[in-house]
């Protein structure tokens, strides 16, 4: 069976990575978490005491960064497992800031395209269908209401044993949307040929089933 490339875009906390992982498992595809790669840059900046707004300093850091996505789903930065650390709220906000920089985007987009060669991959992010994989056979734009997205993130935090404030998460998500949609380079937007899925009132299994149907139509 032909293996295709699948691009899933959408705003923060829309459940893109959860769906991408489940579909990748069903299809035996490789899941590439592009958001985690931007989080790695933000985390590395924090670790090296570089301000997120220091574009030159962030650009210099890229020379010493080796990001690896392992088949078991863990993310490694310079051979250190950073899977848990890059999920902290401060890193999330930092990722949104550093993703505005041309050097960061060029560095990571090149890496993502290399990883995606040959198909059989699912990438999720903000600009996969519009920039990274313009020729992806299936493009999905996954959305959900801010209330729904905040509640999901809140539940995730509680399950992980993290402190969580629902109203603060709502405000952060709204701010993240504003940043992502209005940045000068590769803003978040729906590709012309993407299928929009609003997951606000759908269960995970329903979304996965819908995506699997879309894949079947294209294979």
Rounded Cα distance between 159 and 176, Å, is 23
Which string of b and e fits 3-31 if b means at least 16 CB within 10 Å?
A: ebbbbbbbbbbbbbbbbbbbbbeebebbb
Beta bridge partners of 75: 69
Query: For the chain, what is the total number of helices (H) and then of strands (E)?
Result: 8, 8
Look up the CATH architecture of domain 5-200: 3-Layer(aba) Sandwich (3.40)
Q: How far apart are CA 43 and CA 46, in angstroms?
A: 5
149-197 tens-digit pLDDT? 999 999 988 998 988 999 999 999 999 899 889 988 888 999 999 999 9
Sequence spans of domains, the chain: 5-200
How many residues are present in the chain? 219
User: How far is the C-alpha of 13 from the C-alpha of 179, rounded, in Å?
Assistant: 14
Q: How confident is the model at residue 81 (pLDDT cuts 50, 70, 90)?
A: very high
Place of tokens 């803003």: 187
Calculate mean pLDDT across residues 9-19.
Answer: 92
Q: What's the pLDDT tens digit per position in 37-71? A: 999 999 999 999 999 999 999 999 999 999 998 87
* Rounded Cα gap, residues 120 and 133, in angstroms: 13
Whether the predicted pLDDT of 1 surpasses 90: no
Two tokens, residue 51: 């301000």
Q: Are 105 and 185 in contact (CB under 8 A)?
A: yes
pLDDT in the model for residue 71 = 74
What the block records as the tokens of 195 is 């299928």
Where on the phi/psi map is residue 97: left (φ > 0), alpha (ψ -120 to 50), or beta? alpha
4, 215 Cβ separation under 8 angstroms: yes
Tens-place pLDDT, residues 92-141: 899 989 999 999 999 999 999 998 988 899 999 989 999 999 999 999 99
Distance CA 77, CA 38 (A): 11
d(Cα 218, Cα 196) in Å, to the nearest integer? 16
Rounded CA-CA distance 20/124 in Å is 7
């Amino acid at each position: 069976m032909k293996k295709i490339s699948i691009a899933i875009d959408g705003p923060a906390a829309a459940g893109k990575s959860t769906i991408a992982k489940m579909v990748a498992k069903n299809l035996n595809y490789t899941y590439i978490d592009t958001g985690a790669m931007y989080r790695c840059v933000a985390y590395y900046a924090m670790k090296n005491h570089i301000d997120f707004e220091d574009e030159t300093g962030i650009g210099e850091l890229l020379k010493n960064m080796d990001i690896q996505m392992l088949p078991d789903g863990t993310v490694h930065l310079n051979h250190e497992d950073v899977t848990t650390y890059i999920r902290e709220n401060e890193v999330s906000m930092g990722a949104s800031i550093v993703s505005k920089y041309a050097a960061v985007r060029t560095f990571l987009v090149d890496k993502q395209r290399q990883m995606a060669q040959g198909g059989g991959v699912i990438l999720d992010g903000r600009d996969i269908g519009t920039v990274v994989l313009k020729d992806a056979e299936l493009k999905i734009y996954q959305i959900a209401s801010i209330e729904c997205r905040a509640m999901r993130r809140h539940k995730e935090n509680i399950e992980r044993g993290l402190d969580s404030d629902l109203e603060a998460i709502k405000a952060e998500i709204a701010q993240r949307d504003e940043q992502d949609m209005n940045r000068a380079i590769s803003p978040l937007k729906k590709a012309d040929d993407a299928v929009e899925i609003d997951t606000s009132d759908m269960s995970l299994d329903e979304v996965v089933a819908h995506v699997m149907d879309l894949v079947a139509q294209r294979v």
